[in-house]
Amino acid sequence: MTDHVTALPDLPRPVPNLTCGATVTGSEVIDCRLLVQSDPAPDARLAADGAWEIGVPESTVPLTDFLAPEEDPRILDDGWRTAGATLLRRLTALVEAHPVKAKRHLVQIRVPESTTRRHLRNLAQGLAAAGSPVTLSRKDSGPVVRDIRVDLTDVAPEIAAAADRELRLGGILGAATALARDLDAVPDGARTADWWRTTARSMVGGLPGLRVKVRGPGWLERKGFQALRSVSADPLESAALVEIIWDPAAADGDLTDERPDTVLVGGGAVAATVRALAQLRSPRKVLGLVPVTGVLRAPHPPLPGRPDEIIEHLGGLTTQLNIAGEEAHRLQLAARLATADTVAHAARRYRPRRIVTVGPTTVAAKVALGTRTGALFCPDDTLARRITLRGAKVGERWWPMPLVADLQSAVSSEAADLTGEPTGPAALAAALYLDRFSGDIPLIHLDTAGPAVADAPTPDTGRGPTGFAARSLVEWLRK
């Protein structure tokens, strides 16, 4: 195992504990107020009475163009998610600098009379998702702000009655983002098979119906994961396949061989999503598959005069490695090869209703959609719309992209079944490439190349991995 693994915090890290009720008093209370304002300040400020104030805008902004706001106000960004994240970061800095408050404190946030159930849910998402990033410099036990109470004194009785449920749901959604972000922030060299075994045990955490298996290098070799193993710099130590299974029947004490409703293939967002679905007791059986390579090894072009290499995938399909370009581009291809093996395994072994691949796949998606929107490739227009709207409800933007059948030939090769360097639109070609490995099972591809990593801090996230897609997947699959 890589030496610096011991410097990593245990995952999942705890998120703030959210409660609600009437006003409480005491020396440990850090009072805060959430105010509706026409032009709120971008940060929390200390009021004259010693309470911290954070504003939310009077107006809202739609998070998708696929539905008119008057048809469903849930697609509107009300600013409460951002307010929660901003306030949490400000209070974290306050508590870190105050030894007494670091040991004993209760953050109390008084919300206004106009508060709705969705406001509370969004506030909880921001509070849970806004923790500090994983660091290798010290052993980090979790968020500095541990306990948060939402003061419901001013809200309507029917809103207060639903507050516990909304805060719990929002907290789980936000925690999924935080866990996805933390998992993706762990360096590739640290994410070995052994590290995943330790982390997986913590992720299960006694949740009924949630099981995790970590398949090691020997198992991968026996099952034919040649492409995945070929792109691992240390296939004998680091290569693995993590299987995270949420089975609602098993949670009730019944073990069944029922095929999964959905298989998710990807990285941190996949692991975090399945854990959140178990916490919410989703009625769907969902399997998450995380291909683990450790440090990726980029394929290299052949020597002059030599033919391109051809790699055989699990299931028999072959890919011609007619590679070109910079190392970063070739590393994207390496990740795609590992994903392809995993998709083939999902289709052959589990026969789910659908397979969903998620992760940063192509620079082209980032160029086309920017850094706040993910690209959605789905063969079913109705389902694509549903995923887009579910994402908007939890603050994540998606844009459905066309799957042009005429471009199927772009991923074909004369020397093999498929080419590693398709012609035509790169993001679309990558989705079509992965689709070939799912056989007759519908494949949905979520390319998060733009929003997966933030180059600079935003109101919702810090710099680095963002955990994007986890909330959308949980919101889609939780019912």
CA–CA distance, 366 with 381 (Å, rounded to integer): 22
CA–CA distance, 381 with 216 (Å, rounded to integer): 38
The neighbouring-strand residues paired with 55 are 35
For the ranges 139-148, 219-228, 319-328, the maximum mean pLDDT occurs at 219-228
The pLDDT, as a whole number, for residue 434 is: 97
Longest dimension (CA), the chain: 79
The pLDDT, as a whole number, for residue 198 is: 92
Q: What pLDDT band is residue 4 in, cutting at 50, 70 and 90?
A: very low
For strand 29-37 and strand 106-110, is the pairing parallel, antiparallel, or unpaired?
parallel
Instruction: Please indicate whether residue 21 or residue 404 has the higher confidence score (pLDDT).
Output: 21
The pLDDT, as a whole number, for residue 138 is: 56
CA–CA distance, 235 with 202 (Å, rounded to integer): 25
Residue 42 has pLDDT above 50, yes or no: yes
Tell me the backbone φ, ψ of residue 158, rounded to 5 degrees: -70, -30
* Two tokens, residue 374: 């993910």
- Look up the pTM and report it: 0.95
The pLDDT, as a whole number, for residue 224 is: 98
Q: What is the mean pLDDT of residues 272-287?
A: 98
The neighbouring-strand residues paired with 150 are 20, 109
In three-state secondary structure terms, 444 is: strand
Reference 300, options 314, 315, 321; nearest CA is 321
Q: What is the mean pLDDT of residues 110-116?
A: 98
The pLDDT, as a whole number, for residue 139 is: 54
Residue 298 has pLDDT above 70, yes or no: yes
CA 416 to chain centre: 34
Q: What single-letter amino acid sits at 322?
A: N
The pLDDT, as a whole number, for residue 230 is: 96
Q: What is the mean pLDDT of residues 252-265?
A: 90
Per-chain mean pLDDT for the chain: 92
Least confident of 18-32, 63-77, 227-241, 380-394: 63-77
Residue 133 has pLDDT above 80, yes or no: no
Residue 113 has pLDDT above 80, yes or no: yes
Q: What is the mean pLDDT of residues 438-444?
A: 98
The pLDDT, as a whole number, for residue 272 is: 98
| CATH architecture for the domain at 3-174 | 3-Layer(aba) Sandwich (3.40)
Q: What is the mean pLDDT of residues 301-311?
A: 87
Q: Is the dihedral of CA 335, 10, 132, 87 positive or negative?
A: positive
The pLDDT, as a whole number, for residue 89 is: 93
The pLDDT, as a whole number, for residue 123 is: 98
CA distances from residue 445 to 263, 310, 318, 374, 454 in whole angstroms, order as listed: 12, 24, 21, 10, 21
Instruction: Please indicate whether residue 243 or residue 67 has the higher confidence score (pLDDT).
Output: 243
Residue 210 has pLDDT above 90, yes or no: yes
Q: What pLDDT band is residue 329 in, cutting at 50, 70 and 90?
A: confident
Q: How crowded is residue 25: how many other Cβ atoms within 10 Å of its Cβ? A: 8
CA–CA distance, 476 with 176 (Å, rounded to integer): 13
The pLDDT, as a whole number, for residue 141 is: 53
Are 3-174 and 188-477 equal in CATH topology? no
Q: What pLDDT band is residue 65 in, cutting at 50, 70 and 90?
A: confident
Query: DSSP string spanning 23-70?
Result: ----TTEEEEEEEEESS--SS-EE-TTS-EEEEEESS-EES-SSS-TT
Question: DSSP code of 256?
Answer: -
* Two tokens, residue 464: 């680095």
CA distances from residue 421 to 308, 337, 425, 434 in whole angstroms, order as listed: 11, 12, 11, 13
What radius of gyration do the chain's Cα atoms show?
23
CA–CA distance, 56 with 194 (Å, rounded to integer): 45
Residue 241 has pLDDT above 60, yes or no: yes
Q: What pLDDT band is residue 325 in, cutting at 50, 70 and 90?
A: confident
Q: Are 99 and 81 in contact (CB under 8 A)?
A: no
Q: Catalogue the E-assigned strands of 145-215.
A: 147-151, 210-215
Q: What is the mean pLDDT of residues 443-465?
A: 91
CA–CA distance, 257 with 287 (Å, rounded to integer): 13
Q: What pLDDT band is residue 143 in, cutting at 50, 70 and 90?
A: low
Could you read off the pLDDT of 352-408 as tens digits, one per residue? Answer: 999 999 999 999 999 999 999 999 999 999 999 999 999 999 999 999 998 887 788
The pLDDT, as a whole number, for residue 450 is: 96
Q: Domain ranges in the chain? A: 3-174, 188-477
The pLDDT, as a whole number, for residue 422 is: 86
The pLDDT, as a whole number, for residue 399 is: 97
Residue 173 has pLDDT above 90, yes or no: yes
Task: Name the residue with tokens 């360097």.
Answer: 421
CATH of region 188-477, choose from 3.20.190.10, 3.40.50.1400, 2.60.120.510, 3.40.630.10: 3.40.630.10
